[in-house]
Amino acid sequence: MNIRTVSFDHPDAVELNAQVQAEYAVRYDDDGDATPLDPSMFEPPAGLYLIAYDERDHPVATGGWRTQDENEEGYRDGDAELKRMYVRAELRGRGLARRLLAALEEDARAAGRTRMVLETGTKQPEAVALYTSSGYEPCAKFGYYRFHELSLCFAKPL
């Protein structure tokens, strides 16, 4: 597996984001994640966007982080927010998400961020299992979905 830094608007990122949005739509019976995101949010050193490629150079997994500081949505100074973690269904269970997560945590720590935060949902038990087994603990809700009943928020000190 080859993990590369790409821009959030790279064609492979757009393709994988469309897949994750389609999965959210099915799981939550809605139009997908409506969190406002801009490619500039993932530009180093204020963020990072990664794609894992298989041996045939096909994009198979993705994830990113963006800088957050204290604001009205419940973030704290020093936060790095994890976004768009996704692994193609046929490749799940092989440790790809865990490798991406570790790389993102390492980069956010090197950028001076002190806490990684993420929002997922009750209909994503695989995500919850990944995060809790990686040291994330439930925290006060934050972000775009902070008032949504299906939202779950987690944090981990970096």
Residue pLDDT, tens place only, 13-45: 999 999 999 999 999 988 778 888 999 999 999
Q: What CATH number corresponds to the domain at position 36?
A: 3.40.630.30
pLDDT band at 56 (very low <50, low <70, confident <90, very high): very high
Q: Would you tell me how many other CB atoms lie within 10 Å of the CB of residue 78?
A: 17
Range of the structural domain that residue 64 is part of: 2-157
Sign of CA dihedral 40, 140, 35, 75: negative
pLDDT at position 34 is: 83
pLDDT at position 32 is: 74
- What's the whole-number mean pLDDT along residues 100-112? 98
- CA angle at 80 for the pair 76 and 82, rounded to the nearest 5°: 125
pLDDT at position 131 is: 98
- What's the whole-number mean pLDDT along residues 45-54? 98
> How many structural domains comprise the chain?
1
Does the pLDDT of residue 133 top 80, yes or no?
yes
- What's the whole-number mean pLDDT along residues 112-120? 98
pLDDT at position 143 is: 94
Average pLDDT, the chain: 96
Which of these ranges, 25-39, 76-90, 97-111, has the smallest mean pLDDT?
Answer: 25-39
